[in-house]
Amino acid sequence: MIKVIVVEDHPIMVEGLKNILRSDAGIELNGDYGDGKSVLQALEKGQPDVILMDVNLPDISGVTLCGEVKKKYEDVKIIALSIHDEQPVIHSMLQNGASGYVLKNALGNEIIRAIYAIMDGEEYLCSSTKEALKNADMELLKAIPRITRREKEILQLIGKGLTTMQIADQLFISTHTVESHRKNLMEKFGVNNTTSVVKLASEYKLL
Amino acid sequence: MIKVIVVEDHPIMVEGLKNILRSDAGIELNGDYGDGKSVLQALEKGQPDVILMDVNLPDISGVTLCGEVKKKYEDVKIIALSIHDEQPVIHSMLQNGASGYVLKNALGNEIIRAIYAIMDGEEYLCSSTKEALKNADMELLKAIPRITRREKEILQLIGKGLTTMQIADQLFISTHTVESHRKNLMEKFGVNNTTSVVKLASEYKLL
DNA sequence: AAAAAAATCCCGGAAAACAGGGGTTTTCCC
DNA sequence: GGGAAAACCCCTGTTTTCCGGGATTTTTTT
């Protein structure tokens, strides 16, 4: 029996997943958790074979959670579940140790297939995910940029529509500093204006 | 028996909803559809009492679909299902005739409760939705701005990171015209820079 | 304790966006 | 069909952002 746990904050979705998993005799559902903290606690008392993990959780990002789980329990396989097909999101999850990536618009049996595939040591990507990755060559694929606390702070204020000067005033730093951060954000996101930074940040749920 | 149909593009979610609806003896599930077009077709051959409708569909926006369905079949009650708790989204759905709004992180029985409530002629909002609406007084609530074809086009190009001049070139209009549209977008969204426009548009899934 | 990363500050010129004005053509409603 | 509103188009001056370099001081990590 393959032991599976589900990490997902939408109860209706959990309901659907339970249903799907129940339909397969070789899979045993060992509990579900609505956020990152509770699953980390639960793992201390024993690990499943596979975690089905939503990428958007209420407390911490799926990318971070995935990395932490794999660091502590390297044998646990993780399948990412997501509504995003943005390449950097997919890429970041895989880099953080996920063995599979299945979009939420996938059919139920793709989940089952994914579980068996990764138990066989394969990496499983659902068809839409493959489609999304196909166009870019893996080498050039950008991950979600890692931004610092301060940068995030400034990003959020920019998102609120504040100008450089207003941000400087609010954080008690000079406008030059704000501009530096702005510049670094553009650099990290690989774009050349703040609008695009905000758009990407919004897509990656960084705001 | 209350006849219900589900409009939702995530099969796993549909699975969960089916499960929940099956558990109630007074509700009968009359089919599910993955996009707006197919549900409009299906409605021509007969209407249910209630439609559970996802706000984010692959083909048309839930807001539009809701309006169209209500225009043709005013007796059909609609419950919006959504992951967003943004006020303008909620407001727009309700203005377009939805009788209920339930967030996807709601518990299964909230769906059941919502169905019965709206069949009694009430309006049903789940607790998180009420929370989201509470802070703003209803009078001032902004709906999602209605933008024109051209404006949307320009919005998308801005979202791609193009400058005014690049957009002008691409659409064969002058930079001044682009700036006018930019201005109108800011006006309609009630903000004073493009970055905020893009952020909001992204939240409302207008890009 | 050394090295790396983050956060802070600085400049000047070029490029773009913004604000506030105007006008013409569609579209929609009565 | 006619009037109003919306959509679309254009212009000028001012403000803000962007780009290209810098530099110094804290943290954090190894």
Residue A118 vs residue B72, higher pLDDT: A118
Instruction: Indicate the average pLDDT of chain B.
Output: 87
Q: Which of residues 31-70 of B touch A (CB under 8 A)?
A: 58
Q: Where are the domains of chain B?
A: 2-139, 149-203
A78 pLDDT more than 90: yes
**Does B183 reach chain A within 8 Å, measured CB to CB?**
no
With an 8 Å Cβ cutoff, are B195 and A192 in contact?
A: no
**Does B203 reach chain A within 8 Å, measured CB to CB?**
yes
Asked whether strand D has any atom less than 7 Å from the CB of B174, the reply is: yes
Percentage with pLDDT > 70 across chain B: 96
Q: pTM of the predicted model, to two decimals? A: 0.81
Instruction: Indicate the average pLDDT of chain A.
Output: 88
With an 8 Å Cβ cutoff, are A12 and B192 in contact?
A: no
**Does B165 reach chain A within 8 Å, measured CB to CB?**
no
A153 pLDDT more than 80: yes
Chain-centroid distance of CA A131 in Å reads 18
Please list every residue in chain B whose beta carbon sits closer than 8 Å to the beta carbon of residue A194. 195
The residues, ordered by sequence, that sit 6+ positions from A166 with a Cβ below 8 Å of its Cβ are: A157
Long-range CB pairs of B184-190 (<8 Å, 24+ gap) are B184/B151, B185/B147, B185/B151, B185/B154, B185/B155, B188/B145, B188/B146, B188/B147, B188/B151, B189/B145, B190/B142, B190/B145
Pick A16's closest partner by Cβ from B13, B160, B202. Answer: B13
Residues (71-110, chain A) with CB within 7 Å of strand D atoms: none
Give the per-residue pLDDT at A136.
59
> Which nucleotide C1' is nearest B172 CA?
D9
B2-139: CATH topology is: Rossmann fold (3.40.50)
Distance CA B82, CA B13 (A): 12
Residue B111 corresponds to which tokens in the numbers above?
Answer: 């769906």
pLDDT tens sequence across B35-88: 988 988 898 888 999 999 998 888 888 888 888 888 888 889 999 999 888 888
Residue B184 vs residue B61, higher pLDDT: B184
> Which nucleotide C1' is nearest B195 CA?
C17
Give the per-residue pLDDT at B74.
83
Percentage with pLDDT > 70 across chain A: 96
pLDDT tens sequence across A33-55: 998 889 888 988 889 999 999 99
CB count within 10 Å of CB B109 equals 12
A2-140: CATH topology is: Rossmann fold (3.40.50)
Distance CA A204, CA A148 (A): 15
Asked if residue B124 lies in contact with residue B81, where contact means CB atoms within 8 angstroms, the answer is no
Please list every residue in chain A whose beta carbon sits closer than 8 Å to the beta carbon of residue B107. 11
Asked if residue B2 lies in contact with residue B27, where contact means CB atoms within 8 angstroms, the answer is yes
A32 pLDDT more than 90: yes
Place of tokens 């501009």: A179
Q: What are phi and psi of B7, to 5 degrees?
A: -120, 110
Give the per-residue pLDDT at A74.
84
A61 pLDDT more than 60: yes
In this prediction, residue A139 has a pLDDT band, given cuts at 50, 70 and 90, of: very low
Residue environment code for A43-77, b if the CB has 16+ CB neighbours within 10 A, otherwise e: beeebbbbbbbbbbbeeebbbebbbbbbeeeeebb
Distance B201 CA to C24 C1' (A): 29
Give the per-residue pLDDT at A7.
94
Percentage with pLDDT > 90 across chain B: 40
A142 pLDDT more than 90: no
CB count within 10 Å of CB A203 equals 16
The residues, ordered by sequence, that sit 6+ positions from B100 with a Cβ below 8 Å of its Cβ are: B77, B78, B79, B80, B114, B117, B118, B123, B124, B125
Asked if residue B40 lies in contact with residue B64, where contact means CB atoms within 8 angstroms, the answer is no
**Does A12 reach chain B within 8 Å, measured CB to CB?**
yes
Give the per-residue pLDDT at A137.
52
Which range has the top average pLDDT, A26-30, A70-74, B106-110? A26-30
Give the per-residue pLDDT at B140.
47
B94 pLDDT more than 90: no
Give the per-residue pLDDT at A148.
87
Please list every residue in chain B whose beta carbon sits closer than 8 Å to the beta carbon of residue A160. 196
Q: Which CATH class is domain B149-203?
A: mainly alpha
Asked if residue B60 lies in contact with residue B36, where contact means CB atoms within 8 angstroms, the answer is yes
The residues, ordered by sequence, that sit 6+ positions from A193 with a Cβ below 8 Å of its Cβ are: A186, B161, B163
A187 pLDDT more than 80: yes
Give the per-residue pLDDT at B115.
93
Shortest CA distance to A182 belongs to which of A173, A194, A167? A194
A132 pLDDT more than 80: no
Report the pLDDT averaged over residues A164-191.
91
Please list every residue in chain B whose beta carbon sits closer than 8 Å to the beta carbon of residue A106. 11-12
Question: In angstroms, what separates the C-alpha of B72 from chain A's closest C-alpha?
Answer: 29
Asked if residue B1 lies in contact with residue B24, where contact means CB atoms within 8 angstroms, the answer is no
